[in-house]
Amino acid sequence: MSIGNSPEDERPIPDESQEARISVGRALQQARIAAGLTVDDVSSATRVRIAIVHAMEADDFAPCGGDVYARGHIRTLAKAVHLDPAPLIAQYDAEHGGRPAPTPAAPLFEAERIRPERRGPNWTAAMVAAIVVVIGFVGFTALKSGSGANGSKTQVAEGTSPSATRSASPTPTKGKPAAPSTEPSDSAIAAAPQDKVTVQVSAPNGRSWINAKDHNGRMLFDGLLKKGESKTFQDSSKINLILGDAGAIELYVNGKKIDDKFQPGAVERLTYTKGDPVAG
């Protein structure tokens, strides 16, 4: 007979702290219910699609499109249901291999590329231009020959030598062409009409996927804005923007810079109208 603990006493003690901690998706769902909000309410407030909200509350973050976008969606939904996003993001990072190193945001969709239509040479325009050049040359030659003959007759009648006449005539001086101005012209933003909304999106700090639509939902741009590039959008009443990596973007709305401190990797959904930015 062996003396010691029974097999029941050697079973591992369950970690109650792990069992008590709820998942990120469950925490978002419980906070939404406690706030009296539906999934449709959250989707309308955050502009995160209903299917993505359902998937995140079920702890399925694959539809977000990657860790960077998942962290951005967690932050957005947490604020909408009155939760502190920092602990949820930390829990997500711990459960998914730690916080990823900063990487340039990849576009969710590739912008449709329209190939320019090839056109043949315009032979009619070329022939007209050639005829105009020939007529002009012939007329100039005839005029120059007539002027030379009249000048010679005048010199013989007056008894003056051609050399004297040439020396007495003033030497024409060719004016130097004006140097091109190095001053940049007013940009489209500075001259933006007051009856429209004009938004300029620049990427001085890196590249970011952006999506821009007008007030009718028509797509103005959907693609990757590379570092150093900029895009300008204009509409009669409203511009809707989605920024894949808002920290890399600078915004100018109706000629004024938007000073919002966007975080690197954050997904931002923005709407601007003719009255923006609102003073104060």
Instruction: Give the integer Cα–Cα distance in Å for 123 and 120.
Output: 9
Which among 210, 227, 223 is positioned nearest to 113, based on CA atoms? 223
- For residue 268, which amino acid is it? E
Q: Are strands 256-258 and 250-253 parallel, antiparallel or unpaired?
A: antiparallel
* pLDDT value of position 102: 56
Which among 101, 109, 123, 277 is positioned nearest to 200, based on CA atoms? 277
- The b/e string for 22-32 (b: 16+ C-beta within 10 A; e otherwise) is eebbebbbebb
User: Residue 258: exposed, middle, or buried by beta-carbon count in 10 A (0-12, 13-18, 19+)?
Assistant: middle
Which among 28, 24, 27 is positioned nearest to 90, based on CA atoms? 24
DSSP state of 256: E
Given a contact cutoff of 8 angstroms between Cβ atoms, the answer to whether 74 and 48 are in contact is no
Residue 115, Cα to own-chain centre: how many angstroms?
21
> Mean pLDDT in runs of 10 for the chain (280 residues)?
48 49 91 94 94 94 91 94 93 80 49 52 81 85 68 47 46 51 44 81 87 92 90 92 84 85 82 74
- The structure tokens listed for 272 are 């601007």
